[in-house]
Chains A and B, each alone.
Chain A
Amino acid sequence: AQSVSQHNHHVILSEAASLELGCNYSYGGTVNLFWYVQYPGQHLQLLLKYFSGDPLVKGIKGFEAEFIKSKFSFNLRKPSVQWSDTAEYFCAFSTAGTALIFGKGTTLSVSS
């Protein structure tokens, strides 16, 4: 079955630390990949997306993700987190013309 695995349920970091959140998907064909973020009290917002082309994708607020096809992975990175990055992060994928399949999410807590 198609699914997304997010390896970290809860990550706690201090400000200025580097961040990497793991994401692996299970599907053998072409995929579109996404990271969504949900800040406290707000709705889901798109952080970045990959449809095709350069596998290193840059998103908003200094986030980036790298698509490694051979590993079915799309890990999210940020070199230096801020307190305002505290949120829940969801990895998701879709195939042509289908709805999104989400992972369970990773809660990021950043202490100042």
Chain B
Amino acid sequence: DVKVTQSSRYLVKRTGEKVFLECVQDMDHENMFWYRQDPGLGLRLIYFSYDVKMKEKGDIPEGYSVSREKKERFSLILESASTNQTSMYLCASIPDRGVYNEQFFGPGTRLTVL
């Protein structure tokens, strides 16, 4: 059974804190993604990674960075959290093999920045 896990379901941080969101997949997938999901704005891609130590900016990378030191783990970092980064954060992964892009999602982390 495929599985994507995220380190926290709910997180509350203060403005200016450095925040780490962790995502781990056990499916040996090459590609991993970080999204945020907000009412009225849908899913927006922050960063993605095609391979270990590789990263590409998505549509809204400002204020975020990522790290992929191991194939199974993709971390999202908020260098200095701000209130407008309060959101639901979703991690997803897909393999290189396969003819279509089914993304497997984690359960999400609801982050509140006070």
A, B bound: no
Residues of B with Cβ closer than 8 Å to A? none
Residues of A with Cβ closer than 8 Å to B? none
